[in-house]
Structure 1
Amino acid sequence: MPKALERRQKLRSDLIFAAERMIADRGLSGLKTRDLAREIGCANGAVYNLVEDMDELILRVGSRTLHRLDEALSAAERAGEPSPQETLVRIALAYCDFAAKNLQLWRALFEHRMEADKTVPDWSIDDQMQLFRHIYVPLATLFPKRGADELGITARSLFSAVHGMVALGLEQKLVAVPLPALREEIAGLVRAMIDGLIARAERSHAAAAP
C-alpha cells in the first residue's frame, strides 16, 4: 500500500475515533471540526479530505455505536432461556443498559439530522435495519402465521415502546427514573405487550374457526 494512502487511512480512523470520544464526552453539539483537527494533528480543512462532511463523520461514529449495540443484544439473546418471550425481555433490558452506559453516543443516533436535500447512505441504513432481527426472530417464533410485513410492523412497535421508555427514563430532568426501576418497568411492559399480542392472536384464531 502506498505510504500516502496508508497515512490517509490512519488519519481517517483517528478522526472517527476522536469524534467518537468527543461525542461521548460532550454530546453531539460538542463536536467541533477545529478540535478534531487539533486532536489528530491536521489542518482544519484537511478533515474534509478524510470524510465528505460532518454528516458522514457522525454516521461513521453511529455505525460503530450500532455495531457495539448489536453485540450487546446478541449477548443478551444467548444469556438465558431460549423462550422467545424472555428473549425479548432480555433484549429490551440490554438496550436500556447500553443506552445508560453510552448515553451521549446513544442519543447521537437519534439527535443527528441530515440536511433536507441529503439522504442517509445505504450502508448506514443497513446498520440500523440489521438490529431489528433481534426482535423479529423471536416474534416470528411466537407468531408463525404472520407475514413478514406484519411482523416488521410489530417489531417496530415493540421497539418504539421500549425506546420511548428508555428515552424518558434516562432524561436527566424531572422525569428521570432510577435505572433499576426503569429496567423493572421495561420488563413489565414487554411481557404485557407480548401477552396481549398472544391473546389477540388466540381470539382471532378462535373467531376464524368453523
Structure 2
Amino acid sequence: MSKALERREKLRVDLILAAERMIAERGLAGLKTRDLAREIGCANGAVYNLVADVDELILRVGSRTLSRLDQALTAAEAVDDPSPQATLIRIAVAYCDFAASNLELWRALFEHRMERGKEVPDWAISEQMELFRHIYRPLAALFPQRSVEELSITARSLFSAVHGMVALGLEQKLIAVPQPALRREISALVRATLDGLVAGIR
C-alpha cells in the first residue's frame, strides 16, 4: 500500500472513531461533519473523500457497535448453564445491559434512516442479520421440529418483544424503569414466552 493510501486509510479510521465518540456523547442528531473534519484535521469537504456520505459513516459506526454487541452476546452464551432457556434469558439480559451501557450508539442503530431513495447496503444487512444466530441456535435446540422459516419468525418475534421492553425501559422519561428491575422483567418475559411455546407443542 502506498504512503498516500496509508494516510487516507488512517484518516478514514480516525473519522469513523471520531464519529463514534460524537454519537456516544451527543446522540445521532449531534453528528456534524464540520466538527468531525476539525477534530481529525481535514477540510470539511475532504470527509467525503473518506466515506461516500453521512449514511455510510453512520453505518460504519453501527458496524463497530454491532461487533461489540456480538461479543457481549457471545460472552453471555458461554456461561455454565447451557440449556436453551437459560441461554436465551442470558442473551436477553446481556442485550439490555449493552443497550444501557452504550445508549446513544445503540439508539443510533435504530434511529438512522437512509437518505430517501437509497437502500441499506448488503454488507450492513448481513451484519445485522448475523446477530440473530444468538437467538436462533438455542431456539433450534429447544424446538427441533420447527422449520428454518418458523424458527426465524420466532427469533424475530422474541427479539422484538425484548427490544421493545429495553427501548421503553431505558427511555429517560416517566416510563423509564430502573435497570435491575428491567433485567428481572426481561428475564420473566423470556421465561414465560418460552414456557408458553413449549407448552404449546405438548
Q: If the TM-score is normalised by the length of the shorter chain, which range does it land in?
A: over 0.9
* Structure 1 residue ranges, 4+ long, deviating more than 2 angstroms after superposition: none
Counterpart AA for 1:95:
Y
Residue aligning to 2:173: 173
Query: Post-superposition shift, 1:96?
Result: 0.1
Give ranges in structure 2 of 5+ residues lacking alignment: none
Query: Post-superposition shift, 1:53?
Result: 0.1
Question: Sequence identity, in percent?
Answer: 78
Residue aligning to 1:91: 91
CA distance in 1: counterparts of 2:175 and 2:80, whole angstroms: 31
Cα deviation 1:57-83 (Å, max 9, x = unaligned)? 000000000000000000000023000
CA distance in 1: counterparts of 2:145 and 2:132, whole angstroms: 19
Counterpart AA for 2:99:
A
Counterpart AA for 1:66:
L
Cα deviation 1:114-152 (Å, max 9, x = unaligned)? 022101011100110010000000000000010000000
Counterpart AA for 2:29:
S
1:192 equivalenced with 2:192 (yes/no): yes
CA distance in 2: counterparts of 1:130 and 1:67, whole angstroms: 10
CA distance in 2: counterparts of 1:123 and 1:12, whole angstroms: 18
Counterpart AA for 2:126:
D
Q: Please tell me whether Structure 1 or Structure 2 has the larger radius of gyration of its CA atoms.
A: 1
Residue aligning to 1:66: 66
CA distance in 1: counterparts of 2:47 and 2:79, whole angstroms: 42
CA distance in 2: counterparts of 1:48 and 1:99, whole angstroms: 30
CA distance in 2: counterparts of 1:39 and 1:201, whole angstroms: 58
Counterpart AA for 1:178:
P
1:18 equivalenced with 2:21 (yes/no): no
Residue aligning to 1:38: 38
CA distance in 1: counterparts of 2:79 and 2:121, whole angstroms: 33
CA distance in 1: counterparts of 2:201 and 2:174, whole angstroms: 38
Report the count of equivalent residues. Answer: 202
Relative to the length of structure 1, the TM-score reads 0.96
The two structures, once aligned, show a CA RMSD in angstroms of 0.5
